[in-house]
Amino acid sequence: MLGNVSGAHVLVIAVILAIEVLALVQVWRDRRRSDVVKVVWTIVIIAVPVIGVVGWAVNWLLGRAADRLNRSNGPAA
C-alpha cells in the first residue's frame, strides 16, 4: 500500500503536518478570540489542511495589521 511513497512525499506530508500543528497552537494561544472561534478554526484547519491553514494565516495577519493600525492611531476622542 505504501510502496509508491517516496522520500519527497514523506517530506511534503511532514511539512504540511508541522505547519498545521503550528497553526493550531497559534489558534489556541490567541487570547483575542472566543473558544467558539477557536473550535471553528480548528475544524477548518483539520478538515481542509492546506486551504484551512492559508485561510487562518491570512485572517491572523490581517488581524495583527488591524491591531497595529488601531494602536498607532491612539485612543479615540
* Sign of the CA dihedral running 68, 72, 75, 77: negative
Hey, what's the cell of 44?
Answer: 477548518
Q: Flag the least confident range among 5-9, 48-52, 64-68, 72-76.
A: 72-76
Cα 18 from Cα 12, distance rounded (Å): 10
Q: Calculate mean pLDDT across residues 31-55.
A: 92
pTM of the predicted structure, to 2 decimals: 0.74
